[in-house]
Amino acid sequence: MVHELTIQDFLALSREFTVIDVRSEKEFLDGHIPGAINIPILNDEERKIVGTTYKYNGRQPAVYKGLELSGPHLSERLRKGVKYARNGKVLVHCWRGGMRSEFFAFLIHYYGLEPFLLKGGYKTYRQAAHEAFQMPLKIRILAGRTGTGKTEILKELRDSGERVIDLEGLAKHRGSSFGALGYEEKPSQEQFENDLFHVLRELDSEKHIWIEDENRTIGDKVIPERIWKQMLDAPRFFVDRTFDERLDQIMADYSVFPLEKLKIAMARIGKRLGPQHVKRALEYLDSGELREAFSIALSYYDKAYNFQLSGVEEERMITIDGTGKSFWEIAAELKEVEYGK
């Protein structure tokens, strides 16, 4: 029997059963439900051919063309679906919950497994994500100048049971000119939003959620507007550490990367550093004096962040002295701060 589920029931079952996305490879790459397995009924080229046939000749010729193209591969695609079944069940969807998912569900059912279809398809999932982004959240912003170790502090908070959204981790970018280093594959904007929705679903929105202080964009990823506005209005917990401590952190984070990549990243902020400063920073990099080069960049980021802080209301800023403390100690202190209910 083939079951059709609402998005809420489908996502609830996705914690237990595998989600099979039968859209084409490009559709999947552009954005998919986190954890889903891609088994295209029609691959990118086949889908294009069928779409063209539908446009010029109508539905029935397109159905024939789709069967002609997919027929030789159906046994292989069915085997993959069977492989990912759990307890004889799988979850299936396409874009709108139409022919592709229905056809694959028929194959699965005919084989002897029990498929569950997402009513409305992936389009419904995207609608649910956008609705979730409108919900009120009890956000606490973890603030601090560049090199404070905010990502590490967030990890300590999460490990101690706090609710955390690591936006930089989801965007695969640390937010600065050097932020893309170490992240070779980056999600699309759509996938960034899907991953954020996935995290939100796992959190209790009635309790406070820690988010790192960010600009609206992280690399080329844009934080959904409603969440961003809530971040602007949220209390900020500013962790203050010395320049040398933060420079140590910068060295730990970035000195491992190839010289040429560091030079490209430094050059990207050249106009804001000023010609003399960027020239000197690049010379330091060439001579292997990375700490001196990073010191120049850190001074620039401090000025930019101080300007950003100047617009924050004093009553929404709580300062934590992190000098000489471990990330675990800072996280423990943040947990103890009383702010609101």
Q: Which residues have a catalytic role annotated? A: 94
Separation of alpha carbons 155 and 165, rounded Å: 10
CB atoms within 10 A of CB 31: 20
The three-state DSSP-derived secondary structure of 175-190 is CCCCCCCCCCCCCCHH
- Residue 37 backbone dihedrals phi, psi, to 5 degrees: -105, 130
What is the rounded CA–CA span in Å between residue 92 and residue 86?
13
Q: In sequence order, which residues have a C-beta less than 8 Å from that of residue 20 and are 6 or more positions away?
A: 36, 37, 39, 81, 84, 90, 91, 92, 93, 104
Distance CA 225, CA 271 (A): 29
The β-bridge partners of 116 are 3, 91
Residue with tokens 């988010």: 211
167 residue type, one letter: L
Angle at 271 between CA 270 and CA 272, to 5 degrees: 90
CA-wise closest residue to 66 among 91, 43, 89, 97? 43
CA angle 29, 13, 137 (to 5 degrees): 75
For residue 240, give both structure tokens: 């203050």
